[in-house]
Amino acid sequence: MKKNSLRTYNGLKNKLILVAVFALVALLMIGTKVYRNKAYGNSYDDKYVVSIQIEEGDTLWGIASRYYIPECGSMKQYVKEICKTNSLKSDSIHAGNYLLIPCYTSACK
């Protein structure tokens, strides 16, 4: 092989490797997004958050049932997500306080 054709070959090989790396990164990013949605039990890309004031007699499970949709996974998973969103250690809540409720539907906006 001549020197110029060897450089051209090496240049094409390097470009091919670069394209392959970008394709692999893109596939990993797409796969991570799909896994994340499945892990949270939903197929939605957008999550909305609604702030509500806790009223006398409200329970965390009662509030969760108002915003729950089956795509959120189980009700237990959804209550855990509400607790995590609000840094709650238990499901004990008090009237007058506010909660952030994650929603997976535009109806919550």
Render pLDDT for 35-92 as a digit per residue (tens, 0 to 9).
555 545 445 557 788 899 999 999 999 999 998 888 778 999 999 999 999 999 988 9
Render pLDDT for 57-67 as a digit per residue (tens, 0 to 9).
999 999 999 98
Tokens representing residue 97 in the block: 């306080």
Half-sphere exposure of residue 34: CA atoms within 13 angstroms, side-chain side: 6
**Smallest Cα–Cα separation from 98: which of 52, 49, 61, 50?**
52
**Smallest Cα–Cα separation from 75: which of 85, 89, 60?**
60
pLDDT at 86: 94
CATH class of the domain at 48-108: alpha beta
Tokens 């250690």 belong to 89
